[in-house]
Structure 1
Amino acid sequence: MASSSSGIVAGLTAGALAVVGFLAYQASASAPSSAVAASSSASPSATGPTEKARKPSPLALPANSGSGTRVVYSLAGKRIWLVDSEAKAGTKPRTFPVAPSAVNPTPDTYRVLTRSLKITGSDGKPVEHVVRFANVDGTTIGFSAAVDGTMPKPGATPQEGTGAVRLSRADGTAVWEFATVAVKVVVVP
């Protein structure tokens, strides 16, 4: 009887070890890759593709977008950020979407050249809070808001030959208050 009971104990022990091993595998498979990599003795290349596949948030300030107080305009992101170098540490810059113009400036650092409270835009619409910062082949590029509050439909083709980067009225007011003459405007791809 002793040999059969030791066989049962050995079988139960092996079964328990198998269950514990399976549960450990499940836990490591569902753990964040940073926790697995920190506790693993595997080579650095074994951390998997998830580390490389993470993309920055579209709301995150683009890398290499300059320093100091500035407006950052992402052409591909169709978004601007108001970066205040005097803001308290940890404060995120205000950001909002824009409707791009038909004529785009090249990625570079510009300065606010002129401003107009209310004018008729190059597309014939009454606009307000116009902040101009670049000139491309005779077309003035600037941020503005339509007085009637309308925005181009997402994906709409901007009117040819215009340099109006359109914002909502509230966002246009924020840019107007922030981007005074000589403030930097950093355009990124």
Structure 2
Amino acid sequence: MVSSSAGIVTGLTTAALVTVGVLAHQASDSAPADLRRTHASGAPAPGASKAPRDRRHPDALPAGSGKGERVVYSVDDDRVWLVGAGNKVRRTFEVTPSTVDPAPGTYTVTSRSNRVTGSDGIPVEHVVRFTSTEGVAIGFSAAVDGSTAKPDPAERTGGIRESRADGDAVWEFATIGHQVVVVP
């Protein structure tokens, strides 16, 4: 009876967390634009310079990109770093940027979706959202077909595209509440 009750409690807790996540995402999509733009907790620390950061090691973690476990995204380098404990880079990879860039700053993962249709109409998986800019949700995703084509510049999209393997890594690493640091 005890294990059966624990299973019911676990199931109800999971259902409640999923519901809260969906409602939070819906609420963020319907919030006025001026409220949605205030998610950043500040500019990156001094030292997060423009690309290339290290001409001999262009994939080196940018200085001043925060501390602790985090995802670091460089808008200028179109590169992501998954940083674990002790400031150790677990993985780094190039991405295809969206047409709408997030402002430099520190964010947290606010919602995730296993599979959805991207703002460009392409089926995507492992969507990890961390902010929105002028009504456009910004996050990492991988196209289900594996494509990483540049988006149409005439469209306002927020999907930062990565390969499916890199998308799997971000999905496993960046759960709700995880820190995302955006640097220039």
CA distance in 1, matches of 2:84, 2:135: 31
What does 1:36-115 correspond to in 2, within 5 Å?
55=55, 57-85=57-85, 91-115=88-112
Output the aligned Cα RMSD: 1.7
Please point out which of 112, 118, 122 is paired with 1:121. Answer: 118
Highest CA radius of gyration, 1 or 2? 1
- State the Cα deviation string for residues 7-39 of structure 1 (Å, max 9, x = none): xxxxxxxxxxxxxxxxxxxxxxxxxxxxxxxxx
Task: Measure how far apart 1:58 and its partner are.
Answer: 1.2
Query: Given that residues 70 and 82 in structure 1 are in contact (C-alpha distance below 8 angstroms), is that contact kept between their aligned partners in structure 2?
Result: yes
Distance of aligned partners of 1:83 and 1:142 in 2 relative to their CA distance in 1, 3 Å threshold: same
CA distance in 1, matches of 2:174, 2:127: 10
Task: Measure how far apart 1:57 and its partner are.
Answer: 1.7
Q: Which runs of 5+ in 2 are unaligned?
A: 1-53
Query: Given that residues 84 and 93 in structure 1 are in contact (C-alpha distance below 8 angstroms), is that contact kept between their aligned partners in structure 2?
Result: yes
Query: Given that residues 148 and 161 in structure 2 are in contact (C-alpha distance below 8 angstroms), is that contact kept between their aligned partners in structure 1?
Result: yes
CA distance in 2, matches of 1:121, 1:55: 34
Paired position in structure 1 for 2:32: none
Quick check: 1:174 aligned with 2:177?
A: no
Q: Secondary structure at the match of 2:126?
A: strand
Paired residue type of 1:77: D
Paired position in structure 2 for 1:164: 159
Q: Secondary structure at the match of 2:167?
A: helix
CA distance in 2, matches of 1:180, 1:92: 17
Q: Which runs of 5+ in 1 are unaligned?
A: 1-53
Quick check: 1:187 aligned with 2:177?
A: no
- State the Cα deviation string for residues 44-87 of structure 1 (Å, max 9, x = none): xxxxxxxxxx7352110001100000000000110000001168
Please point out which of 145, 150, 154 is paired with 1:148. Answer: 145
Query: Given that residues 82 and 89 in structure 2 are in contact (C-alpha distance below 8 angstroms), is that contact kept between their aligned partners in structure 1?
Result: no
Q: TM-score, normalised by structure 2?
A: 0.67
